[in-house]
Homo-oligomer: A and B are copies of this chain.
Amino acid sequence: MTETKRQMRLGAFLSGAGHHLAAWRYPGANVQGILDFQHYKYLAQLAERGKFDMIFFADILAVSENFDTAISRMAAIRPEPITLLSALSVVTEHIGLTGTLSSTFSEPYNVARQFAMLDHLSNGRAAWNVVTTSNQGAAGNFGESPHLDHHLRYERAKEYLDVVSKLWDSWEDDALILDKENGLFADKDKVHAANHHGTWFSVRGPLNMPRSPQGRPVVIQAGSSADGRDFAAQTAEVIFTAWQTLEEARAFYQDVKSRAVTYGRSEGDLLILPGVLPIIGETDDEALRKYEHFQSLIHPEAAITLLSGMIGHDLTSYDSNAPFPDLPDISNGVKGRLHLIQDIAKRDQLSILEVSRRIAGARGHWTIFGTPSSIADQLESWFVGGGCDGFNIMAPYFPGGLEEFVDLVLPELRKRGLFRNEYEGTTLRENLGLSRPANRYAKEVTPI
C-alpha cells in the first residue's frame, strides 16, 4: 500500500426515512424525521464523521402520477434541497453539499445565484446535480403540457449550464477592491456581463455576487441515455449512475470517459459514482433476512406504481401476477431503464409484481448484502474492476443504515487503504481531486 493508492470517492445519498421503498415502515427508520431539521443535521454530521466527500439530495417536483397510492402507501414527501443544504452548511465544516435542481423548471439566474450563495455560505462545499426531469407529473406543476421532449430537454440543459457558468465567472476572483478611503468598491474591468443570447435563454448578467470559493460549484449529472452521456462527458464533474452488474458499469465507465477525452478533457476531470444500496448484517444470513424483511414491507400497489412511473407506462391495470409484458419503447428518457427491467424479467421469469418488488427496493440501483467485510469486498470489486471511481451510498433506512455503514464498513475500506482517514482539502473540489476552474474572463488564463 503506497500513499498514492487510488481511493474511493463516496457520497452519502440522504433521504427522509431511507432509500428502500418501504424504508418508512421499517422499525428503526425515523419516519417522523422526514421534514425535521434535527434528523438531517444528525445524518449530515454522521456522514462528516465518516469523512464522506459529500451528502447528496435527489429531488422530484411532484407527487407521483398515481396520486392515491403515492399518498397512501409511499413516502411522497421531498424536503427542498437548496433550503435544507443551506441550513446544513451551518452545522457541518468539511463535507460537500449536493442538491438536485431541474434545468427544465427553473431560471438560470436564480439557480446560478442560489448555488453560488450556498458555495459562499459553506466556504466552498456546494455542488449542483443537474437534472432535466423525466417525470411527467412535474410538468403538470409548471404549466407545460405536453412535457418537453427528451432531446430538447438536453439541448436546453446544455445552454442552461453554459449561462450559469458564465454567471459564476462574471466577477473575476480579484474584482473586489473595498477601498473605503477612495470610494472604490470593485474593479469594473473585472466584472463582466454575460450578454448571452441563445436559443433558450437571453441573460445579460453579471451575477450580483462575487465569484464563489470554488470558482464554480461542482457540477454533477445523472443521465445515462445517449444524450445524457454526451452532455455529462462535456460538462459533468461527477456522474451519479445506476447499474446492476460490473459489466454494465464498466461499459458505461469506459464509454463516458472516452467521450470526455474526445471533448478535450482528461479522464480525471470527471468521476463516476454508481448508486449502491448496502444491507449490512453480522452474518451474511442476517443480512439476507434483513433484506427479506425490507422486501416484505413493500406494498404491492406501491411497487407497481413506482415501476410504472420509472418506465413511463401505467402497469396498475394489468394482472399483477401475469408475466412482465413486452412493451414498446415509450420515451427516450426512460428507454435504458425499460430495457434493463425487461432483461431482468425475462432472465428470471418474473411476474409484474415480482419485477416491481425486485426493482422497487432500490429503484434500480445495485443492491448488495452481507457482513461489513463482504460489503467492502463487493465495493472493492467494482472499484478495482474499472466500474467506478467510488459510490453514492444509499442507506436502506435512516439513521441506522448510515450508522452501520460509517461504523462497520468504512473501517474495512480504510484497512484496505481504499478510503481516506482525513479530509485532504477544505473545499469539495479539493477533496474530490477536481481542479478549480479558471475564470473565462480573466486575462491571465492564457499567458503568452
Contacts and interface: CB of A to CB of B under 8 A. Distances in A.
Interface of A: 22, 24-27, 31-32, 35, 37, 60-63, 67-68, 71-80, 82-84, 86-87, 89-91, 105-107, 109-110, 113-114, 116-118, 120-121, 137, 140-143, 145, 178, 180, 183-188, 191, 193, 201-206, 208-210, 297, 299
A314 B67 CA distance: 53
Contact of A121 (B72, B87, B178, B202): B87
Contacts of A116: 80
Contacts of A35: 117, 120, 209-210
Nearest to A202: B143
17 contacts: A24-B178, A31-B178, A32-B178, A37-B121, A61-B109, A72-B185, A76-B185, A77-B208, A77-B209, A79-B209, A80-B114, A82-B86, A82-B114, A83-B86, A107-B142, A143-B202, A183-B299
A31 B77 CA distance: 40
Nearest to A61: B109
A120 B116 CA distance: 23
A143 B76 contact: no
Contacts of A61: 109, 208
Given A107-B105, A203-B142, A84 B121 contact: yes
A72 B188 contact: yes
Contacts of A107: 105-107, 142
A117 B76 contact: no
Contacts of A60: 208
A60 B208 CA distance: 8
Given A77-B208, A106-B107, A110-B106, A185 B82 contact: no
B77 A183 contact: no
B80 A113 contact: yes
A60 B207 CA distance: 11
A67 B170 CA distance: 13
A117 B80 contact: yes
Which 3 residue pairs are nearest across A and B when measured between Cβ atoms? A86-B86, A140-B204, A80-B117
Given A180-B24, A183-B73, A185-B72, A209 B109 contact: no
A74 B109 CA distance: 21
Given A67-B193, A90-B87, A105-B109, A72 B117 contact: no
Nearest to A69: B188
A206 B63 contact: yes
A26 B140 CA distance: 51
A178 B113 CA distance: 36
A26 B186 CA distance: 16
Nearest to A40: B121
Contacts of A201: 143
Contacts of A73: 183-185
A208 B31 CA distance: 16
Nearest to A212: B35
Contacts of A74: 185
A180 B25 contact: yes
A145 B105 contact: no
Nearest to A144: B202
A26, A71, A84, most chain B CB atoms within 10 A: A71
A293 to B, nearest CB: 13
A22 B182 CA distance: 12
Nearest to A204: B140
A25 B117 CA distance: 24
A78 B171 CA distance: 13
Contacts of A27: 180
A37, A84, A185, most chain B CB atoms within 10 A: A185
B89 A87 contact: yes
Contacts of A180: 24-27, 31
Nearest to A302: B183
Contact of A109 (B67, B141, B183): B141
